[in-house]
């Protein structure tokens, strides 16, 4: 069930404490009403007033912790991680346009699960995955929730079809169905979800002089000790470990039946290690990569993004690096021998080292520990 300002939330009575007749409202009505709730409007404005932080090696000194080296967990698209504040200081993600970053934090113990959601099809099982280590079999736990990402990616002229009269435009595109599904799932589940930030859709949209829509924020950083959230973007070299393989898993997971409807397992909560679960791919994906690699950058952008106007400048290069790896490693078993995960341990210097390997990940010299498709 959803709570706002400490009270159960129902669309027909956003300021009252209960209304049993309202619980049958449509999920679209629920999302629209939630976005219009005065408390969430105020909280979202406060979040948007925070200057976006560019997370890089030079900002480590600004993100002070009780230890000399702050510990991060970074997530790519379709990944999730549950993080223990006793082991990690920060968790974050970026590169979201039509995707949505979802943060769920247990108020009592600070256990925090974060996901980079990219499809409504992942939400039902995704919640089960995220909550498995957060609620500790206690469905009465109070959970703080933040949603950041997604924007109004369909204009009034392009919107088609609607099941409600208000907010028709928001029903098209990719962002609205995803946000609607997340909200619907929270309302139906037994846990107590206290929505704190709802910086999505219209609250996360800006327009250029030609009227093209863009997300205001593409990423965020969670400070685990306090649960505070700040807008953030990450330097490329800090999106680690195993960047290319993790990017490739996003595309490959569409063909791998073992991942249907699931978020990608990436990180082990208890050991503070990246355990990158295996994912297989077919020769069909290799052939697609070969075909796309020959396209000019403009066509790559149009083909590989749900929101070409809103993408970062490095999307095409990221895609080409991923295709190069796929073409070189056509058999997925060379990446995941015997379908075993790729394991990375945190080093004393704050970087990541492949377990059983003596060289640094992907040939880079990791000097900081910031772990650090269609978008």
Q: Express each pLDDT in 180-237 by its tens digit.
A: 999 999 999 999 999 999 999 999 999 988 888 999 999 999 999 999 999 999 998 7
When pLDDT is averaged across residues 306-311 and rounded to a whole number, the result is 81
pLDDT at 116 (0 to 100): 98
Please answer whether residues 253 and 259 qualify as being in contact, where contact means their C-beta atoms are separated by less than 8 angstroms.
Answer: yes
Is 173 or 68 the better-scoring residue by pLDDT?
A: 173
Cα angle 358-82-341, degrees, rounded to a multiple of 5 = 40
Identify which has the larger pLDDT, 93 or 167: 93
Closest CA to 231 of 220, 241, 242, 223: 220
73 or 154, which is more confident?
73
Contact 186, 30 (CB under 8 A): no
- CB of 72 within 8 A of CB of 89? yes
What mean pLDDT comes out for the span 79-84? 98
Take residue 309 and report the two structure tokens written for it.
């106007």
Distance CA 370, CA 338 (A): 29
- The per-residue b/e assignment along 14-37, b for 16 or more CB within 10 angstroms, e otherwise, is beeeeeeebeeeebbbbbbbbbeb
What is the model's pLDDT at position 172? Answer: 60
Going by pLDDT thresholds of 50, 70 and 90, the confidence category of residue 146 is very high
Q: Is 96 left (phi over 0), alpha (psi -120 to 50) or beta?
A: beta
Between residues 27 and 132, the one the model is more confident about? 132
**d(Cα 282, Cα 331) in Å, to the nearest integer?**
8
SS3 of the chain: the string is CEEECCEECCHHHCCCCCCHHHHHCCHHHHHHHHHHCHHHHHHHHHHHCCCCEEECHHHCCCCCCCCCCCCEEEECCCEEEEECCCCCCEEEECCCCCCEEEEEEECCCCCEEEEEECCHHHHHHHHHHHHCCCCCCCCCCEEEEEEEECCCCCCCCCCCCCCCCCCHHHHCCCHHHHHHHHHHHHHHCCCEEEEEEEECHHHHEEECCCCCEEECCCCEEEECCCCEEEEEEECHHHCCCCHHHHHHHHHHCCCCHHHCCCCEECEECCCCEEEECCCCCCHHHHHHHHHHHCCCHHHHHHHHCCCHHHCCCCHHHHHHHHHHHHHHCCCHHHCCHHHCCEEEEECCCCCEEECCCCCEHHHCCCCCCCCCCCC
Q: Which residues of 331-352 are buried (b: 16+ CB within 10 A; e: fewer)?
A: ebeebbeeeebbbbbbeeebbb
pLDDT band at 358; cut points 50, 70, 90: very low
pLDDT at position 291 over 50: yes
Q: Band the pLDDT of 10: cuts 50, 70, 90.
A: confident
Share of the chain above pLDDT 90, in %: 70
Q: What residues does 276 pair with on adjacent strands?
A: 342
Query: At 365, is the pLDDT very low, low, confident or very high (cuts 50, 70, 90)?
Result: very low
Q: How far are the Cα atoms of 15, 106, 240, 333 from residue 3, in angstroms, in the given order?
A: 11, 14, 35, 46
Residue 359 has pLDDT above 50, yes or no: no
270 and 348 Cβ atoms separated by less than 8 Å: no
Confidence of residue 163 (pLDDT cuts 50, 70, 90): very low
pLDDT at 16: 42
Asked if 95 and 312 count as a contact pair (C-beta separation under 8 A), the reply is yes
- Reported pTM: 0.86
Using alpha carbons, select from 253, 303, 255, 244 the residue that is nearest to residue 283.
255
Phi then psi for residue 87, to 5 deg, are: -115, -25
* 23 pLDDT higher than 50: no
pLDDT at 170: 40
Sheet holding 267-268, edge to edge: 267-268, 273-276, 342-346, 352-354
Work out the pLDDT band at 154, boundaries 50, 70, 90.
confident
Q: Give the per-residue pLDDT at 46.
A: 97
Q: For residue range 41-80, list pLDDT tens digits in order.
A: 999 999 999 999 999 866 655 555 555 688 999 999 999 9
């Amino acid at each position: 069930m959803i709570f706002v300002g400490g009270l159960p939330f129902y669309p027909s009575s956003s300021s009252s404490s209960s209304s049993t007749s309202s619980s049958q409202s449509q999920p679209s009505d629920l999302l629209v009403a939630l976005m219009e709730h005065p408390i969430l409007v105020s909280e979202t404005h406060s979040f948007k007033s925070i200057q976006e932080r560019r997370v890089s090696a030079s900002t480590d000194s600004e993100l002070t912790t009780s230890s000399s080296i702050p510990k991060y967990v970074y997530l790519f698209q379709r990944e999730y991680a549950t993080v223990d504040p006793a082991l990690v200081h920060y968790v974050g993600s970026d590169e979201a346009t039509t995707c949505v970053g979802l943060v769920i934090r247990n108020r009592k113990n600070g256990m925090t699960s974060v996901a980079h959601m990219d499809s409504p099809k992942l939400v039902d099982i995704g919640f089960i995955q995220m909550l498995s280590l957060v609620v500790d079999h206690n469905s009465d736990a109070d959970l703080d929730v933040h949603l950041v990402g997604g924007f109004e990616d369909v204009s009034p002229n392009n919107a088609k079809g609607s099941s409600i009269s208000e907010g028709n435009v928001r029903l098209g595109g990719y962002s609205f169905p995803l946000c609607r599904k997340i909200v619907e799932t929270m309302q139906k589940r037994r846990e107590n979800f206290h929505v704190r930030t709802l910086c999505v859709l219209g609250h996360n949209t800006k327009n250029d002089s030609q009227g093209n829509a863009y997300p205001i924020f593409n990423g965020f950083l969670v400070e685990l000790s306090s649960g505070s959230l700040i807008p953030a973007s990450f330097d490329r070299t800090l999106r680690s470990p195993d960047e290319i393989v993790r990017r490739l898993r996003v595309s490959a997971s569409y063909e791998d039946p073992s991942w249907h409807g699931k978020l990608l397992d990436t990180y082990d909560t208890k050991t503070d290690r990246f355990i990158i679960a295996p994912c297989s791919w077919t020769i069909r994906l290799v052939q697609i990569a070969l075909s796309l690699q020959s396209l000019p950058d403009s066509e790559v952008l149009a083909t590989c993004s749900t929101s070409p106007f809103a993408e970062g400048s490095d999307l095409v290069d990221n895609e080409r690096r991923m295709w190069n790896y796929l073409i070189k490693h056509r058999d997925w078993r060379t990446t995941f021998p015997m379908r075993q995960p790729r394991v990375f341990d945190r080093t004393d210097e704050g970087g990541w080292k492949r377990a059983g390997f003596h060289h640094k990940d992907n040939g880079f010299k990791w000097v900081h520990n910031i772990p650090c498709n269609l978008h």
